[in-house]
Chain A
């Protein structure tokens, strides 16, 4: 009796672990981007090594790329000379080592964790790594997917393998279906609030239960994406018909007879009845409400109507001072300066649909700036095909090119010191969205409601039953 993690682990052990050495684990898909790969390519060059499996390497550019709207790719203004150099170096590294790059001008370019799934490269049972902690996203397909550092990016480029110890397992069961107006983002924020930002350290989370089965693939990706915010390197969900329907016909997905064989193999991956996890947690989805963060990590989170809590701890007080918040008052009293809809957490088509549903026929409040940044070029094209760009621009929001944008603020898309940003991204760390910027994490629906009202707002009154 084995868990989903154990089955995938066993399938990828090249050399078993011992007391003296970790296991050599094979990597089926390595995704690289411009920020965490240049030093790894330098190591290859100085060691005289090549890329072992360029065919299993998916490359794109997303972090330091500009998202300025209404230009052609060729004349986009890059934020700095160093960012420009990083982008050019990604192009030359991929050319030199024979890796296909989904770069500027490619219809496939986008955030690493958006394009892997939408191309069908992300598949159940695979081991997937990337020099980015939100690689946990891909676990939504029943893959073992986690972020690695640049040294390990070099290891995978050179050998297609990593040295790993088998992680411990944590089962998170979600009972019941989310109420109307409560989203996958609210669910995962609740889970992080319950576990704490270090509750998953050393573990891989497997999400299961009726509440997880009811989620579509994009919602499952939102949940797995933020596993790292609870300290877990990976989050995973057993594949099912929802997974197979999503993948069917995608460019990198198996075709024809290979497809049937793949589905049979994928079906056998689910955790066996009676398999044992190291730890367990159960949540009731039916009792959840829209969630917003109030502090400077994703575990500092409350329901939209709840007051900001009190705590005598010095780190807690430091966070509240940074956020300029007083305990006892709800977040809905907070005036909003910037709203960001996008990122690998909530930058997919259904996230944009969710935000647009509130903004259709309405306008954002005076003094609010709203950026809508599709997670990929493909998401952008699909959104434009159903007119979402016009909904956003008519509401007064900016419709921009694909990329990480304000989630990490590397490309110049930032908030000014002191500004309050309601953001659909994954981290409300100090300075994450700009020096002194104050970030409130929320769902796309809550972000849109907040843009309309100019203060942190509950989306439920806007949603027809």
Chain B
């Protein structure tokens, strides 16, 4: 996982509420055994029509969306399944962060474990971001803050351990593997065995 510190990027806005993981990456693309290449299928049925041509009115297809690295989405983004293919697809497409008023639990966890930053903001900030697509933001993971135009700074909640892993680019499996002695004694000492 790449370390994620401070970055500057423009937003693209998908205002719809409850965008589920099936819309992010349809199940028919989950027969893969790799993490790679899912970006081309991101939001497939929203991005492309039945003939496979880009829908010009979909925000990601507009010319000014080129190079946008922050997705601003409606409330409850990422609800639905546990498929990690959803953050893989967003990352592969080029996104570094998702901003909403609420982000579903499993997606939130999966995003953090892959270096895609899930940012939850208050409704007023969200409203401003929805109404002003394409603006440039500065995201500072170390400082857990987003800087809006005019230097307005909005902090966002993030678990201290998850932040440490993001900033250092650390894989959590390494941390878990260091707990092996504790795991072994837990297995030996517990009153009943599964």
State the Cβ distance, A202 to closest chain B Cβ, in Å.
6
Binds B, one of A82-90, A171-179, A271-279: A82-90
A201, CB-defined interface residue at 8 Å: yes
Contact between A161 and B179, CB atoms less than 8 A apart: yes
B53 at the interface (CB under 8 A from A): no
Are A15 and B84 interface neighbours, CB within 8 A?
Answer: no
Given contacts A163-B172, A231-B104, A315-B74, contact A198 B18 (CB under 8 A): yes
Residues of B within 8 A of A (CB): 15-18, 20, 22-23, 26-28, 30-35, 45, 50, 74-76, 79-84, 102, 104-106, 109-110, 113-114, 159-161, 164, 172-173, 175-177, 179-180, 182-183, 186-187, 190, 192, 194
Task: Determine whether A435 belongs to the interface, using a CB cutoff of 8 Å to chain B.
Answer: yes
Residues B180 and A435 in contact, CB atoms below 8 Å apart = no
B160 and A20 form a contact (CB under 8 A): yes
Residues B110 and A39 in contact, CB atoms below 8 Å apart: no
8 chain-A/chain-B pairs, Cβ below 8 angstroms:
A80-B31, A149-B109, A163-B176, A197-B79, A201-B102, A427-B80, A431-B23, A432-B27
| A358 to B109 Cα, complex, angstroms | 43
Cα A27 to Cα B67 in complex, Å, equals 42
Q: Is A342 an interface residue (CB 8 A)?
A: no
A307 to B102 CA separation, bound complex (whole angstroms): 30
Q: How many residues of A contact B (CB 8 A)?
A: 76
Which residue of A56, A83, A89, A151 contacts B114 across the interface (Cβ within 8 Å)? A151
How close is B184's CB to chain A, nearest CB, in angstroms? Answer: 10
- Extra contacts, 4 of them, besides A28-B194, A132-B81, A314-B16 (Cβ < 8 A), are A15-B182, A39-B34, A149-B110, A150-B110
Q: Contact between A233 and B15 (Cβ–Cβ < 8 Å)?
A: no
Verify if A133 is at the interface (C-beta below 8 Å from B).
yes
A1 at the interface (CB under 8 A from B): no
- Is there an interface contact between A147 and B82, defined as CB atoms closer than 8 Å? yes
Q: Are B28 and A409 in contact (CB under 8 A)?
A: yes
Pairs A-B, 7 closest by C-beta atoms: A28-B194, A149-B110, A147-B82, A38-B33, A149-B84, A82-B31, A315-B17
A430 within 8 Å of B by Cβ? Answer: yes
Are A430 and B45 closer than 8 Å at their CB atoms?
yes
Given that A20-B160, A133-B80 are known contacts, is A155 also in contact with B179, CB under 8 Å in the complex? no
